[in-house]
Amino acid sequence: MSILFSGRASGARANKIGAVRRFLMFFVHHFRQAIASLGELWRTPMASFLTILVLGLSLTLPATLHLLVKNAQQIGGGFAKAAEINLFIRDNTTEQQIKSLVTILSADSQVASVTHISKAQAMAEFQEASGFGAALNYLTDNPLPDVLVVLPTNTDPAAARALMQQLSNERIVEFAKLDLEWLTRLEAVVRLLQQAVIAIGLLLISAVLFIVSNTIRLSIISKREEIEVMKLVGATDAFIQRPFLYTGFWYGILGGVLAFLVSEGLLWWLRGAISDITSLYQSDFQIQPMNLIEFSAVIILAVLLGVVGSYLAVRKHIRAIEPSGP
């Protein structure tokens, strides 16, 4: 007896599979549909290639800008010593008073280090550096003040400026100096770049969502007849949606890898030019590539874009397709 007739002794009945097996098969089907969707990309090479290209290149721009911002921040960080505060001590201050202030500042959590440059040390350095060594010997009095060089714990310009204000109020301090203008400008440029990354990123993300959604919509339309048949034989919307969502997933993975490769390529291409600039400033600055966390973030963002773009299309269009009848 054919198995199509077996188990019908008590009359025809729908033959269902058990809950446990259904649960296990759920994952098996997901795996199969994921692999089948990869094959679907291969069957429509041009549309798939263009979608992956658009997704990859759209993510390349914000990814590369992010890397540039990150490296610019590093340049700023590398010049942390520029946040040194010079405290010029009043002329009639005693050695004891200066030592007391050094002790107080050394105990302050906002201060990383304090160095006392005495009047004599300052004169010696000046004689050596200025080239007026012999001429300075004719001075009857040392005109240079004692200086305390304070390195703040937090080298952020705003924090350093606040600390300078606080220290300039010390009784024995004539005035305080912090040369941070150029660092402030660099920070402003970096902030501007960060905002540009966010704005450009948001615009490109919208474009990517639209493009992925449109590609999947066209794919759904081309499979309308197939979807109708599947619905007629009992497929749920979720079952029909799944391959399209996996297609979006693969678009994301491949687009993300493309974005990584192109942005690393751009960085490699810029490396020579950046090295030329930094060597002019005697800096041994090394450009930092994408790290594992950033790479993972690019891939996750790309996959999210692929899946969300697909979902926007399938939610609307698969639900709208209804069988036209036997």
Partner 1 sequence: MLQFDQVSKSYPGGFVALERINFRIAKGEMVFLTGHSGAGKSTILKLISMIERPSTGRVMINNIDLSRLKRSQVPYVRRDVGIIFQNHRLLMNHTVFDNVALPLVIEGFTGKEMVKRVHAALDKVNLLDKQRCLPETLSGGEQQRVGIARAVVNKPPLLLADEPTGNLDPELSRDIMQVFEAFNQVGVSVLVATHDLGLIARMRYRTLTLKHGRMINDGLMPLQEPI
Q: Which distant-in-sequence residues (6+ apart) come within 8 Å of 87 by Cβ?
A: 147, 148, 149, 150, 167, 168, 170, 173, 176
Separation of alpha carbons 63 and 57, rounded Å: 10
- Residues numbered 232 to 291 that lie near partner 1 (CB under 8 A) are 232-236, 239
Q: Which of 153, 183, 150, 145 is nearest to 164 (CA)?
A: 150
Stretch that binds partner 1, among 83-91, 147-155, 229-237, 277-285 (CB under 8 A): 229-237
Site size with partner 1, rule: CB under 8 A:
37
Minimum gap (Å) between residue 50 Cβ and partner 1: 22
Strand-pair category, 173-177 with 111-117: unpaired
Residue 39 makes contact with partner 1 by CB under 8 A? no
Minimum gap (Å) between residue 66 Cβ and partner 1: 43
Minimum gap (Å) between residue 12 Cβ and partner 1: 4
Measured in degrees and rounded to the nearest 5, phi and psi for residue 286 equal -115, 130
Q: What binding mask, one character per residue, do residues 187-226 give for partner 1 by CB under 8 A, x or -?
A: --------------------------------------xx
Residue (21 or 316) nearer to partner 1, CB: 21
Is the separation of the CB atoms in 102 and 114 below 8 Å?
A: yes
Residue 17 makes contact with partner 1 by CB under 8 A? yes
**What is the maximal distance between C-alpha atoms in the chain?**
124
**Residues interacting with partner 1, by CB under 8 A?**
2-5, 7-8, 10-17, 21-22, 25-26, 28-29, 225-226, 228-236, 239, 322-326
